[in-house]
Structure 1
């Protein structure tokens, strides 16, 4: 059983969208849930979360990789690149070459390495346009994982994540239901028993065209436009955010 868990990445791994004031940075997320479940089996577990929202692939690797390696983890997760894919222009092949090298460095330590595919946004009008990019990213990820001996959490195959009820109001980040679903999948990939339970959402609400248009307009005003404005100003949501768990520390088990 793992004794040192280190997770690296962007808002997905930090836990953005799963608001909880009891946790550092005011968010919980899938990684905290996984750590809490692992601690049930390994009371001496030490956990660090270096992820920071808004970070691009290059920033994640430059700012977190060496720090994470210095902690000598025996279990490490890495997910980055989602923010890059949302940019107007991205060289996915070059980006994934860097990702491959980073995962190789992690694997060479003997640690169990976990990586993720991107979510299938087919049912969302905005993210449907990114499906091609995400699919290329995912194929690179699968090849890298096979060559490096890493484990893959296949979020593309998690059909429940297509449901908007799994997502925060900004439509960019998972809410507590979505983060719980990811935590369950991570633990399944690791072969670790847990007490987490997914919520049965039932049938989706059927909206009229007018209601859907009103929701999209509200989302554009409250979330999309502020995001565009930050891009135009060269700002990031993570500019003044610190990692929520910058050093290895004990984590309280959750039964």
Structure 2
């Protein structure tokens, strides 16, 4: 899905989503989730463009792990509207893939309503389609529904002329090495990949460097690695589900208000892209230092 790159410089960015946007699986997440995930990386790229123009840049991340599309497209959208951003990204639906009773009609209506509300407020919306869980055999039962959800998202995007970051068809995301040890969330390389795809879609002239992993990551797991994975990651997940507990229960967004991006850990490089022009935006009172 391509509507052409943007040429605006954004000053206030809000990210909406689930654990994939919150940054679960990134190398820094368990230490400091304030700088973890693809949307955080995208924020520092947007910030770099603002710095080039001696302008302030503000960022909020309302994503929380385990949130389904309905929660993201209703609750988080309302929270985002209150922050008065000029750019909102939405990655939603991964937690709907293994819920066969989920109505695609209601999901479509929620996506359409969310985009319409944001656009009516003068906000640029950037969607991602659905991840394609073919990188590990245990997740492949969700591939058909991921195709259905991707088509749904892209249909809504076409209706409202919204750009889509294509994670569903990405060859890179089919490789196990770009996913975290739990095989469910992006690893550092995966988060960097998605951030750079989003930056390209927005026409930004910068990219974050893809980290080099030590020891060298592989795309296959040994029997022992599978056994450890089941013990460390699968068993606790099943135990939570049996108790009716979600990983996101009692978790708050890591950046609930717009704040400045300081002291990030990533290396940024210049990349040829579409020109970026300065656009003025009103100030907001919902700012944290």
TM-score relative to the length of structure 1: 0.90
Match 1:145 to one of 153, 157, 167: 157
Matched, 1:15 2:26: no
Matched, 1:193 2:193: no
User: What's the secondary structure of 1:145's corresponding residue?
Assistant: helix
| Equivalent residues of 2:62, 2:256 under 8 A apart | yes
**Runs (5+) with no aligned partner, structure 2:** 1-8, 269-289
Once the two structures are TM-superposed, the CA of residue 200 in structure 1 deviates from its matched residue by 7.6
Q: CA RMSD of the aligned region, Å?
A: 2.3
Choose 12-21 or 236-245, whichever is displaced more.
12-21
**Deviation at residue 52 of structure 1 after TM alignment:** 0.5
* 1:75 corresponds to: 87
Number of equivalenced pairs: 251
Counterpart in 2 of 1:241? 251
Unaligned runs of 5+ in 1: none
Give the whole-Å Cα distance in 2 for the aligned partners of 1:227 and 1:113. Answer: 33
Query: Alpha-carbon deviation of 1:204?
Result: 7.5
Distance in 1 between residues matched to 2:253 and 2:59, nearest whole Å: 12
TM-score (norm 2): 0.80
| Equivalent position of 2:43 in the other structure | 35
> Alpha-carbon deviations, 1:102-144, whole Å to 9, x = none?
1221122221101111222234212221111000000011111
> Aligned match of 2:262 in 219, 240, 252?
252
Q: Is the 8 A contact 1:8 1:79 kept in 2?
A: yes
Partner of 1:181: 193
**Richer in helix (by share):** 1
* 2:285 corresponding residue in structure 1: none
| SS, match of residue 87 in structure 1 | coil
Question: In 2, Cα distance between the equivalents of 1:140 and 1:106?
Answer: 18
- The offset of 1:41, in angstroms, is 1.1
SS in 1 for 2:222: helix
**Distance of 1:27 and 1:250 partners within structure 2:** 12
Q: CA distance change for structure 1 residues 123 and 80 in 2, over 3 Å: closer, same or farther? A: closer
CA deviations over 1:198-249 (Å, ceiling 9, x no partner)? 3588x98586xxx633332322222112112211211111112111110011
